[in-house]
Structure 1
Amino acid sequence: MSGTLYGIGVGPGDPELLTLKAHRLIGTAPVIAYPAPDSGDSFARGIVAAYIPPGVREIPIVIPMRAARFPAQQVYDDAAGDIAAALSAGQDVVVLCEGDPFFYGSFMYLFARLAGRFPAEIVPGVSSLGAVTAAARRPLIARDEVLTVLPATLPEADLERQLAQANAAAVMKLGRHFDKARAVLERLGLTGRAIFVAHASLPNQTVCPLADAPRTAPYFSMIVVPGKDAHV
Protein backbone atom coordinates (compact mmCIF):
# COMPACT_ATOMS: atom_id res chain seq x y z
CA MET A 1 0.00 0.00 0.00
CA SER A 2 1.31 3.44 -0.92
CA GLY A 3 1.67 6.35 1.45
CA THR A 4 -0.51 9.45 1.42
CA LEU A 5 0.59 12.83 0.12
CA TYR A 6 -0.38 15.69 2.44
CA GLY A 7 -0.28 19.29 1.28
CA ILE A 8 -0.14 21.26 4.52
CA GLY A 9 -0.69 25.00 4.81
CA VAL A 10 1.56 26.30 7.59
CA GLY A 11 0.11 29.80 7.62
CA PRO A 12 1.71 33.21 7.15
CA GLY A 13 4.56 32.90 9.66
CA ASP A 14 3.30 32.90 13.23
CA PRO A 15 3.61 29.28 14.43
CA GLU A 16 0.53 29.76 16.63
CA LEU A 17 -1.58 30.13 13.48
CA LEU A 18 -0.85 26.52 12.51
CA THR A 19 -3.97 24.36 12.56
CA LEU A 20 -4.27 21.46 14.98
CA LYS A 21 -4.50 19.03 12.07
CA ALA A 22 -1.33 20.37 10.49
CA HIS A 23 0.46 20.13 13.84
CA ARG A 24 -0.60 16.48 14.27
CA LEU A 25 0.47 15.43 10.77
CA ILE A 26 3.82 17.21 10.95
CA GLY A 27 4.55 15.59 14.30
CA THR A 28 3.95 12.07 12.95
CA ALA A 29 5.27 12.32 9.39
CA PRO A 30 8.17 10.07 8.37
CA VAL A 31 9.00 12.34 5.41
CA ILE A 32 8.65 16.11 5.15
CA ALA A 33 9.22 18.15 1.98
CA TYR A 34 9.28 21.92 1.72
CA PRO A 35 10.26 24.74 -0.66
CA ALA A 36 13.66 26.25 0.04
CA PRO A 37 15.70 29.04 -1.57
CA ASP A 38 19.06 28.28 -3.11
CA SER A 39 20.65 30.34 -0.33
CA GLY A 40 19.34 30.74 3.20
CA ASP A 41 16.75 28.84 5.19
CA SER A 42 13.32 27.60 4.19
CA PHE A 43 10.61 29.95 5.48
CA ALA A 44 7.98 27.19 5.47
CA ARG A 45 10.20 24.85 7.47
CA GLY A 46 11.14 27.61 9.88
CA ILE A 47 7.50 28.18 10.83
CA VAL A 48 7.11 24.59 12.05
CA ALA A 49 10.71 23.73 12.98
CA ALA A 50 9.82 23.21 16.64
CA TYR A 51 7.25 20.56 15.70
CA ILE A 52 9.39 18.41 13.38
CA PRO A 53 10.36 15.23 15.25
CA PRO A 54 13.93 13.91 15.16
CA GLY A 55 14.83 11.34 12.55
CA VAL A 56 12.44 12.61 9.89
CA ARG A 57 13.67 12.42 6.31
CA GLU A 58 13.63 15.89 4.78
CA ILE A 59 13.30 16.71 1.08
CA PRO A 60 14.17 20.38 0.36
CA ILE A 61 12.65 21.57 -2.91
CA VAL A 62 15.27 24.11 -3.92
CA ILE A 63 13.76 26.95 -5.93
CA PRO A 64 16.17 29.64 -7.18
CA MET A 65 15.21 33.09 -5.86
CA ARG A 66 16.23 35.28 -8.77
CA ALA A 67 14.61 37.33 -11.52
CA ALA A 68 16.19 35.33 -14.36
CA ARG A 69 14.25 32.38 -15.70
CA PHE A 70 15.15 28.94 -14.39
CA PRO A 71 13.94 25.43 -15.25
CA ALA A 72 11.00 25.50 -12.80
CA GLN A 73 9.32 22.47 -14.33
CA GLN A 74 12.48 20.42 -13.82
CA VAL A 75 12.60 21.47 -10.15
CA TYR A 76 9.10 20.14 -9.58
CA ASP A 77 9.69 17.07 -11.74
CA ASP A 78 12.72 16.14 -9.63
CA ALA A 79 10.91 16.82 -6.34
CA ALA A 80 7.90 14.80 -7.48
CA GLY A 81 10.24 11.90 -8.29
CA ASP A 82 11.76 11.94 -4.81
CA ILE A 83 8.36 12.18 -3.16
CA ALA A 84 6.87 9.47 -5.38
CA ALA A 85 9.65 7.08 -4.33
CA ALA A 86 8.78 7.61 -0.66
CA LEU A 87 5.06 7.23 -1.31
CA SER A 88 5.64 4.04 -3.31
CA ALA A 89 7.57 2.66 -0.35
CA GLY A 90 4.48 3.14 1.82
CA GLN A 91 5.62 6.31 3.59
CA ASP A 92 3.33 9.28 4.09
CA VAL A 93 4.85 12.55 2.87
CA VAL A 94 3.95 15.94 4.31
CA VAL A 95 4.64 18.86 1.97
CA LEU A 96 4.80 22.20 3.76
CA CYS A 97 3.41 25.25 2.04
CA GLU A 98 3.47 28.85 3.26
CA GLY A 99 -0.03 30.20 3.78
CA ASP A 100 -2.57 27.95 2.09
CA PRO A 101 -1.54 25.19 -0.36
CA PHE A 102 -3.97 26.19 -3.10
CA PHE A 103 -3.80 29.99 -2.71
CA TYR A 104 -0.81 30.79 -4.93
CA GLY A 105 0.89 27.82 -3.25
CA SER A 106 3.72 25.90 -4.88
CA PHE A 107 2.16 22.64 -3.67
CA MET A 108 -0.26 22.80 -6.59
CA TYR A 109 2.55 21.82 -8.97
CA LEU A 110 3.38 18.70 -6.96
CA PHE A 111 -0.30 17.88 -6.60
CA ALA A 112 -0.69 17.97 -10.39
CA ARG A 113 2.19 15.51 -10.77
CA LEU A 114 1.29 13.09 -7.98
CA ALA A 115 -2.40 13.15 -7.07
CA GLY A 116 -3.39 10.92 -9.97
CA ARG A 117 -1.11 8.13 -8.70
CA PHE A 118 -1.27 8.41 -4.91
CA PRO A 119 -3.84 9.26 -2.23
CA ALA A 120 -3.67 12.98 -1.51
CA GLU A 121 -5.14 15.25 1.14
CA ILE A 122 -5.08 19.02 1.40
CA VAL A 123 -4.89 20.67 4.82
CA PRO A 124 -5.82 24.35 4.41
CA GLY A 125 -3.92 27.02 6.27
CA VAL A 126 -4.35 30.67 7.18
CA SER A 127 -3.75 32.48 3.90
CA SER A 128 -1.54 35.51 3.47
CA LEU A 129 -4.63 37.50 2.54
CA GLY A 130 -6.35 36.65 5.82
CA ALA A 131 -3.22 37.47 7.80
CA VAL A 132 -2.71 40.80 6.03
CA THR A 133 -6.31 41.87 6.55
CA ALA A 134 -6.07 41.01 10.24
CA ALA A 135 -2.78 42.91 10.55
CA ALA A 136 -4.30 45.95 8.86
CA ARG A 137 -7.23 45.84 11.30
CA ARG A 138 -9.55 46.80 8.47
CA PRO A 139 -12.44 44.85 6.94
CA LEU A 140 -11.72 44.30 3.26
CA ILE A 141 -15.15 43.76 1.70
CA ALA A 142 -18.76 44.09 2.82
CA ARG A 143 -22.27 43.54 1.51
CA ASP A 144 -22.21 42.97 -2.26
CA GLU A 145 -18.66 44.17 -2.89
CA VAL A 146 -16.36 41.97 -4.95
CA LEU A 147 -12.74 41.33 -4.02
CA THR A 148 -10.12 41.26 -6.77
CA VAL A 149 -6.81 39.53 -5.97
CA LEU A 150 -3.96 40.43 -8.29
CA PRO A 151 -0.28 39.47 -8.56
CA ALA A 152 1.95 42.50 -8.98
CA THR A 153 3.84 40.46 -11.59
CA LEU A 154 1.13 41.30 -14.15
CA PRO A 155 2.05 43.68 -16.96
CA GLU A 156 1.41 47.26 -15.84
CA ALA A 157 -1.45 47.85 -18.26
CA ASP A 158 -3.24 44.68 -17.12
CA LEU A 159 -2.75 45.57 -13.47
CA GLU A 160 -4.19 49.04 -14.04
CA ARG A 161 -7.19 47.74 -15.97
CA GLN A 162 -8.08 45.22 -13.26
CA LEU A 163 -7.66 47.71 -10.41
CA ALA A 164 -9.74 50.33 -12.20
CA GLN A 165 -12.68 47.90 -12.23
CA ALA A 166 -12.30 46.58 -8.68
CA ASN A 167 -14.57 47.29 -5.71
CA ALA A 168 -11.81 46.15 -3.36
CA ALA A 169 -8.41 44.69 -4.15
CA ALA A 170 -5.36 42.91 -2.84
CA VAL A 171 -2.07 43.18 -4.74
CA MET A 172 0.35 40.36 -3.90
CA LYS A 173 3.90 39.34 -4.78
CA LEU A 174 5.24 42.87 -4.58
CA GLY A 175 9.02 42.58 -4.24
CA ARG A 176 10.68 44.12 -7.28
CA HIS A 177 7.24 45.02 -8.70
CA PHE A 178 6.40 47.37 -5.83
CA ASP A 179 7.13 50.62 -7.66
CA LYS A 180 4.93 49.54 -10.56
CA ALA A 181 2.01 48.68 -8.29
CA ARG A 182 2.34 51.87 -6.29
CA ALA A 183 2.44 53.99 -9.45
CA VAL A 184 -0.71 52.33 -10.80
CA LEU A 185 -2.61 52.93 -7.57
CA GLU A 186 -1.47 56.55 -7.54
CA ARG A 187 -2.70 57.12 -11.11
CA LEU A 188 -6.07 55.61 -10.21
CA GLY A 189 -6.45 57.80 -7.15
CA LEU A 190 -6.50 54.80 -4.79
CA THR A 191 -3.48 55.60 -2.65
CA GLY A 192 -5.60 57.15 0.08
CA ARG A 193 -7.52 53.89 0.59
CA ALA A 194 -4.54 51.57 0.19
CA ILE A 195 -2.74 49.88 3.09
CA PHE A 196 0.72 48.33 2.90
CA VAL A 197 1.53 45.24 5.00
CA ALA A 198 4.81 43.31 5.09
CA HIS A 199 5.68 40.14 7.03
CA ALA A 200 2.14 39.81 8.40
CA SER A 201 1.91 37.96 11.75
CA LEU A 202 5.69 38.05 12.34
CA PRO A 203 7.60 40.13 14.91
CA ASN A 204 8.94 42.39 12.13
CA GLN A 205 5.47 43.03 10.73
CA THR A 206 4.97 46.42 9.06
CA VAL A 207 1.55 48.04 8.60
CA CYS A 208 1.05 51.55 7.29
CA PRO A 209 -0.86 53.61 4.73
CA LEU A 210 0.60 53.06 1.28
CA ALA A 211 1.57 56.74 1.17
CA ASP A 212 3.89 56.13 4.14
CA ALA A 213 5.35 52.83 2.93
CA PRO A 214 9.11 52.37 2.44
CA ARG A 215 10.58 52.65 -1.03
CA THR A 216 11.21 48.91 -1.30
CA ALA A 217 9.05 45.93 -0.38
CA PRO A 218 9.86 42.29 0.35
CA TYR A 219 8.23 39.48 -1.60
CA PHE A 220 6.13 38.68 1.49
CA SER A 221 4.19 41.92 1.40
CA MET A 222 0.84 43.04 0.08
CA ILE A 223 -1.22 46.13 -0.68
CA VAL A 224 -4.90 45.98 0.21
CA VAL A 225 -7.52 48.46 -0.98
CA PRO A 226 -10.64 48.02 1.19
CA GLY A 227 -14.01 48.46 -0.42
CA LYS A 228 -15.96 51.65 0.23
CA ASP A 229 -18.62 49.75 2.21
CA ALA A 230 -16.05 47.94 4.36
CA HIS A 231 -15.42 50.19 7.32
CA VAL A 232 -15.29 50.10 11.11
Structure 2
Amino acid sequence: MLAIRRADERGHANHGWLDSYHSFSFADYFDEAHMHYGALRVLNDDRIAGGRGFGAHGHRDMEIVTYVLSGALAHRDSMGNGSTIRPGDVQRMSAGTGVMHSEFNGSPDEEAHLLQIWLLPTQRGGAPGYEEKHFDDADKRGRLRVIASPDGRDGSVTVQADASIHAALIDGDERAQYAVPAGRRVYVQVARGALEVSGERLNTGDAAMIEAETSVVLAKGEDAEVLLFDVA
Protein backbone atom coordinates (compact mmCIF):
# COMPACT_ATOMS: atom_id res chain seq x y z
CA MET A 1 0.00 0.00 0.00
CA LEU A 2 1.30 3.43 -0.99
CA ALA A 3 -0.24 6.70 0.21
CA ILE A 4 0.89 10.07 -1.09
CA ARG A 5 1.03 13.30 0.88
CA ARG A 6 1.46 16.31 -1.36
CA ALA A 7 3.75 19.19 -0.51
CA ASP A 8 0.92 21.66 0.02
CA GLU A 9 -0.74 19.37 2.57
CA ARG A 10 2.09 19.91 5.06
CA GLY A 11 2.05 22.44 7.85
CA HIS A 12 3.64 25.79 6.97
CA ALA A 13 5.13 28.63 8.98
CA ASN A 14 6.81 31.69 7.49
CA HIS A 15 8.61 33.86 10.04
CA GLY A 16 10.31 36.05 7.46
CA TRP A 17 13.83 34.85 8.23
CA LEU A 18 12.61 31.22 8.39
CA ASP A 19 10.27 29.58 5.88
CA SER A 20 9.44 26.08 7.12
CA TYR A 21 7.21 23.22 5.99
CA HIS A 22 6.33 20.57 8.59
CA SER A 23 5.57 16.98 7.57
CA PHE A 24 4.49 16.19 11.15
CA SER A 25 3.00 18.15 14.03
CA PHE A 26 5.52 20.72 15.18
CA ALA A 27 5.40 24.00 17.15
CA ASP A 28 2.09 25.74 16.32
CA TYR A 29 1.17 23.16 13.67
CA PHE A 30 -0.91 20.30 15.06
CA ASP A 31 -2.34 17.50 12.94
CA GLU A 32 -3.54 14.45 14.84
CA ALA A 33 -3.32 12.38 11.65
CA HIS A 34 0.37 13.26 11.23
CA MET A 35 2.10 13.06 14.60
CA HIS A 36 4.92 10.76 13.51
CA TYR A 37 5.66 7.81 11.23
CA GLY A 38 7.24 5.10 13.31
CA ALA A 39 10.42 6.58 14.79
CA LEU A 40 10.28 9.52 12.38
CA ARG A 41 8.93 12.32 14.59
CA VAL A 42 9.92 15.55 12.79
CA LEU A 43 10.73 16.27 9.15
CA ASN A 44 11.01 20.02 8.59
CA ASP A 45 11.92 21.55 5.24
CA ASP A 46 13.64 24.77 6.34
CA ARG A 47 14.90 27.80 4.41
CA ILE A 48 16.91 30.20 6.59
CA ALA A 49 17.75 33.73 5.48
CA GLY A 50 21.37 34.85 5.38
CA GLY A 51 22.84 35.72 8.76
CA ARG A 52 19.81 34.41 10.66
CA GLY A 53 19.16 31.24 12.63
CA PHE A 54 18.22 29.61 15.90
CA GLY A 55 19.85 30.93 19.07
CA ALA A 56 20.95 28.65 21.89
CA HIS A 57 18.14 26.30 22.91
CA GLY A 58 17.84 22.91 24.52
CA HIS A 59 16.77 19.39 23.53
CA ARG A 60 16.33 16.11 25.40
CA ASP A 61 15.76 12.50 24.39
CA MET A 62 15.80 12.98 20.63
CA GLU A 63 18.06 11.95 17.75
CA ILE A 64 18.46 15.01 15.52
CA VAL A 65 19.77 14.62 11.97
CA THR A 66 20.44 17.58 9.67
CA TYR A 67 20.71 17.20 5.89
CA VAL A 68 21.84 20.31 4.00
CA LEU A 69 20.52 20.87 0.47
CA SER A 70 22.12 24.25 -0.28
CA GLY A 71 24.01 26.96 1.54
CA ALA A 72 25.71 26.38 4.89
CA LEU A 73 24.69 25.93 8.52
CA ALA A 74 26.94 26.86 11.45
CA HIS A 75 26.47 24.63 14.52
CA ARG A 76 27.63 25.14 18.11
CA ASP A 77 26.67 23.05 21.14
CA SER A 78 27.26 22.62 24.86
CA MET A 79 29.40 19.51 24.22
CA GLY A 80 32.04 21.76 22.66
CA ASN A 81 31.33 20.92 19.03
CA GLY A 82 31.44 23.63 16.42
CA SER A 83 31.38 23.28 12.64
CA THR A 84 29.76 24.53 9.46
CA ILE A 85 27.95 21.89 7.44
CA ARG A 86 27.28 22.13 3.70
CA PRO A 87 25.58 20.06 0.99
CA GLY A 88 26.70 16.45 1.26
CA ASP A 89 27.24 16.71 5.02
CA VAL A 90 25.04 14.76 7.43
CA GLN A 91 25.05 15.80 11.07
CA ARG A 92 23.73 13.72 13.97
CA MET A 93 23.21 15.09 17.45
CA SER A 94 21.94 12.80 20.21
CA ALA A 95 20.22 15.01 22.78
CA GLY A 96 20.01 12.31 25.45
CA THR A 97 19.92 13.71 28.98
CA GLY A 98 20.10 17.24 27.59
CA VAL A 99 22.12 19.45 25.27
CA MET A 100 22.13 23.11 24.27
CA HIS A 101 22.92 24.16 20.71
CA SER A 102 22.56 26.96 18.17
CA GLU A 103 22.23 26.86 14.39
CA PHE A 104 22.83 29.85 12.13
CA ASN A 105 23.06 30.37 8.41
CA GLY A 106 26.78 30.33 7.73
CA SER A 107 26.47 32.98 5.00
CA PRO A 108 25.53 36.64 5.56
CA ASP A 109 23.46 36.81 2.37
CA GLU A 110 22.91 33.35 0.80
CA GLU A 111 19.86 31.35 1.87
CA ALA A 112 20.43 27.99 3.58
CA HIS A 113 18.07 25.14 2.68
CA LEU A 114 18.02 22.02 4.83
CA LEU A 115 15.95 19.14 6.13
CA GLN A 116 15.76 18.93 9.92
CA ILE A 117 14.94 15.39 11.07
CA TRP A 118 14.07 14.18 14.56
CA LEU A 119 13.99 10.48 15.39
CA LEU A 120 12.51 9.00 18.56
CA PRO A 121 15.30 7.28 20.51
CA THR A 122 15.09 3.62 21.43
CA GLN A 123 15.98 4.51 25.02
CA ARG A 124 15.56 7.70 27.01
CA GLY A 125 18.24 9.25 29.16
CA GLY A 126 21.27 8.33 27.08
CA ALA A 127 24.49 10.31 26.93
CA PRO A 128 24.49 13.28 24.52
CA GLY A 129 26.62 12.80 21.42
CA TYR A 130 27.62 14.32 18.09
CA GLU A 131 28.74 12.97 14.73
CA GLU A 132 29.23 14.35 11.24
CA LYS A 133 29.93 12.61 7.91
CA HIS A 134 30.21 13.70 4.28
CA PHE A 135 28.66 11.87 1.33
CA ASP A 136 29.64 12.97 -2.17
CA ASP A 137 27.06 13.17 -4.95
CA ALA A 138 28.76 10.14 -6.53
CA ASP A 139 27.85 8.12 -3.40
CA LYS A 140 24.16 8.82 -4.03
CA ARG A 141 24.00 8.95 -7.82
CA GLY A 142 21.53 6.37 -9.11
CA ARG A 143 21.53 4.47 -5.83
CA LEU A 144 20.21 4.58 -2.28
CA ARG A 145 23.11 5.36 0.02
CA VAL A 146 22.60 4.69 3.73
CA ILE A 147 23.52 7.90 5.60
CA ALA A 148 22.18 7.09 9.10
CA SER A 149 21.57 3.75 10.80
CA PRO A 150 21.46 2.15 14.26
CA ASP A 151 24.73 0.30 13.65
CA GLY A 152 26.60 2.93 11.64
CA ARG A 153 26.92 0.52 8.74
CA ASP A 154 28.78 1.45 5.56
CA GLY A 155 30.13 4.60 7.14
CA SER A 156 26.75 6.12 8.00
CA VAL A 157 26.21 8.21 11.12
CA THR A 158 24.96 6.17 14.08
CA VAL A 159 21.51 6.94 15.46
CA GLN A 160 20.06 5.54 18.68
CA ALA A 161 16.71 4.93 16.97
CA ASP A 162 14.84 2.14 15.20
CA ALA A 163 15.27 3.80 11.83
CA SER A 164 17.66 4.11 8.94
CA ILE A 165 17.93 6.96 6.44
CA HIS A 166 19.00 6.58 2.81
CA ALA A 167 19.69 9.30 0.24
CA ALA A 168 19.57 9.09 -3.56
CA LEU A 169 20.06 11.30 -6.61
CA ILE A 170 17.90 10.09 -9.49
CA ASP A 171 17.87 11.58 -12.98
CA GLY A 172 16.97 10.32 -16.46
CA ASP A 173 17.35 6.56 -16.81
CA GLU A 174 18.81 6.10 -13.32
CA ARG A 175 16.89 3.67 -11.15
CA ALA A 176 17.23 2.55 -7.52
CA GLN A 177 15.37 -0.21 -5.72
CA TYR A 178 15.01 -0.74 -1.98
CA ALA A 179 14.16 -4.17 -0.56
CA VAL A 180 11.88 -3.54 2.40
CA PRO A 181 12.63 -5.89 5.32
CA ALA A 182 9.64 -7.87 6.62
CA GLY A 183 7.48 -5.88 9.01
CA ARG A 184 9.06 -2.52 8.14
CA ARG A 185 7.54 0.64 6.69
CA VAL A 186 9.08 3.20 4.35
CA TYR A 187 8.66 6.97 4.13
CA VAL A 188 10.01 8.66 0.98
CA GLN A 189 10.53 12.45 0.92
CA VAL A 190 11.32 14.27 -2.32
CA ALA A 191 13.70 17.06 -1.32
CA ARG A 192 13.92 18.51 -4.84
CA GLY A 193 13.09 17.60 -8.41
CA ALA A 194 10.58 14.95 -9.44
CA LEU A 195 10.48 11.18 -9.95
CA GLU A 196 8.32 8.09 -9.81
CA VAL A 197 8.12 6.16 -6.54
CA SER A 198 6.88 2.65 -7.30
CA GLY A 199 5.04 4.03 -10.33
CA GLU A 200 3.53 7.11 -8.64
CA ARG A 201 4.71 10.56 -9.73
CA LEU A 202 6.03 12.76 -6.93
CA ASN A 203 7.30 16.33 -7.10
CA THR A 204 9.37 18.56 -4.82
CA GLY A 205 8.05 18.39 -1.25
CA ASP A 206 5.80 15.38 -1.88
CA ALA A 207 6.09 12.25 0.25
CA ALA A 208 5.03 8.61 0.00
CA MET A 209 4.10 6.40 2.94
CA ILE A 210 4.58 2.75 2.06
CA GLU A 211 3.40 -0.24 4.08
CA ALA A 212 3.06 -3.99 3.45
CA GLU A 213 5.30 -3.87 0.37
CA THR A 214 8.46 -5.87 -0.34
CA SER A 215 10.25 -3.24 -2.42
CA VAL A 216 10.29 0.43 -3.39
CA VAL A 217 11.49 1.58 -6.81
CA LEU A 218 12.77 5.09 -7.58
CA ALA A 219 12.87 5.87 -11.31
CA LYS A 220 12.25 8.40 -14.12
CA GLY A 221 13.81 11.20 -12.14
CA GLU A 222 14.14 14.83 -13.12
CA ASP A 223 17.11 16.09 -11.09
CA ALA A 224 15.58 14.43 -8.01
CA GLU A 225 17.11 14.29 -4.55
CA VAL A 226 15.30 11.88 -2.25
CA LEU A 227 15.44 10.66 1.34
CA LEU A 228 14.07 7.22 2.20
CA PHE A 229 13.33 6.33 5.83
CA ASP A 230 13.06 2.69 6.93
CA VAL A 231 11.11 2.46 10.20
CA ALA A 232 9.28 -0.16 12.25
- Alignment TM-score, normalising by the size of structure 1: 0.31
Quick one: higher RCO (CA 8 Å, sep 6+), 1 or 2?
1
More strand by share: 2
Instruction: Give the greater-gyration-radius structure (CA).
Output: 1
- Alignment TM-score, normalising by the size of structure 2: 0.31
More helix by share: 1
